[in-house]
Amino acid sequence: MRHLVFAAFAAALVAPLSAQAPASIVNVLPPSTRSAAMAGAGVALVGDAGSVFINPSGLATIKVLSLEGAFSPMPAGATLWQGAGAFRVGQFNFGAGAAYLVLPDTADYANNVTWVGSADYRYGLLALGLSGRYVSVTDSGGQVNRSFTTDAGFTLAVFDIMALAVSVQSIGNQNLSGLGVDLPTTTHLGYMLNFVDPQETARFLGIIEWVWTEGEATRFLIGVEGGAVVSGVGVVLRAGYGPPPLALGGSRWTFGGGVVFGRLGLDYAYQAEDLFGDAIHSFGLRLTP
């Protein structure tokens, strides 16, 4: 994902000259380490707190509580931190999350931050969700460019077996300070299917997703997850294929896996820049008591 960081640098160099709002990188990164290992497909990965970053209605299958965190040391000296939590109250779920991208001292941007709060309502197999998102980009001179936007999502979830989900991100963009932040509207449509009962020993899941971002080509993502869990302890492997955001090249393949200890999951994801280039490693933690 080095190309994403370099894209931020390039945007930073252009913004002061053209008085254009800078771009937000955290908004196009995968919503979780689990998603990152499957090419970034995540709109239909319901039941994880990381859904706050991509599909607020994806929280609807959380039964009690979900907590999630991720750390990604990125090429060129950048570092990404992510955290999210969600809980259920009757037919409602509420969640919040934050992502913090710290850029190196040599960059024209110092950091890129997003805070998001989500709520959804579930009726039977259907769920509707809304999010409010605050985004800021700080340049090396200390100017903070801030914007506020909203997301909406719809999910049809059949227990833990399958989910069909659609979300629209960055509906409207309110400039709060500075030049604001450029947040193009993005639509995700995804389908997830567990080929076997995830409550049994074997695990085998497939996911596909289409992504339409304003001003960019349509992206198609596909991911798989498989493994075995015995008495609450097991290992799962993941792989994905699809073009990265911003269409700037880099590997289309992603790989990863996880270790399961009851309700606790430790996740890892890997994506190469190219055959001889740098790579991005992501480490995540998920808890669903």
Q: Is the pLDDT of residue 216 over 60?
A: yes
Per the CB < 8 A criterion, the answer to whether 135 and 65 are in contact is no
Q: Is the pLDDT of residue 274 over 80?
A: no
CB atoms within 10 A of CB 150: 17
Q: How far apart are CA 223 and CA 203, in angstroms?
A: 14
Quick: pLDDT tens for 18-74.
568 898 989 999 999 999 999 999 999 999 999 999 999 999 999 999 999 999 987
Instruction: Give the pLDDT confidence score for residue 277 in this predicted structure.
Output: 58
Q: How far apart are CA 191 and CA 217, in angstroms?
A: 20
| Domains of the chain as residue ranges with CATH | 2-287 (2.40.160.60)
Q: Is the pLDDT of residue 1 over 80?
A: no
Q: What is the mean pLDDT of residues 109-135?
A: 97
Q: Which residues of 9-39 are buried (b: 16+ CB within 10 A; e: fewer)?
A: bebbeebeeeeebbbbbbbbbbbbbbbbbbb
